[in-house]
Amino acid sequence: QKVSVEVLDHLEHLALVDFRDAEGLERLQKAIQFADQLHEVNTDGVEPMDSVLEDRWCLYLREDDVTEGNCTKELLENAREKVEEYFVAPPGNIPLPKLEERETFLGS
């Protein structure tokens, strides 16, 4: 399934992710193919849920058990981009110019 330039632009602005290269576009198309599988599921007579936990009145919290520590350096080695000692997330989170002000991988 092809993604139009307009849909791509809309998704880029919603996600604040730049899909203008081949890798980004391929990742988006794979996500769409995966999501399209949901159309095959028969949901006739199934009421939508507000939450998968709607049968519970409250969520049960547990205490955190810290098993390791002082591993900031090792964790930050996994970051695609970082500022000081912080992850920049999500990767590619950038302000995008309007469609008519930029080029796109798809072309016009």
What is the per-residue pLDDT for 44?
A: 92
Q: Per-residue DSSP letters for 48-90?
A: P-S-TTTT-SSPPP----------HHHHHTT-SSEETTEE--S
Domain coordinates of the chain in residue numbers? 1-41
Amino acid at site 91: P
What is the per-residue pLDDT for 27?
A: 82
Which of 8-12, 39-43, 90-94 has the least mean pLDDT?
90-94
What is the per-residue pLDDT for 42?
A: 93
Q: How far apart are CA 79 and CA 82, in angstroms?
A: 6
- pLDDT per residue as tens digits for the range 19-58: 777 887 888 888 888 989 988 999 899 888 777 666 666 7
Kindly tell me if the per-residue pLDDT of 64 is higher than 70.
Answer: yes
Q: How far apart are CA 106 and CA 81, in angstroms?
A: 26
Higher pLDDT, 72 or 49: 72
Burial grade of 8 (CB within 10 A; 0-12, 13-18, 19 or more): buried
Q: How far apart are CA 93 and CA 85, in angstroms?
A: 18
Q: What is the dihedral of CA 44, 50, 52, 58, to 10 degrees?
A: -150
What is the per-residue pLDDT for 108?
A: 43
Q: Are the C-beta atoms of 11 and 92 separated by less than 8 Å?
A: no
Indicate whether this model's pTM tops 0.75.
no
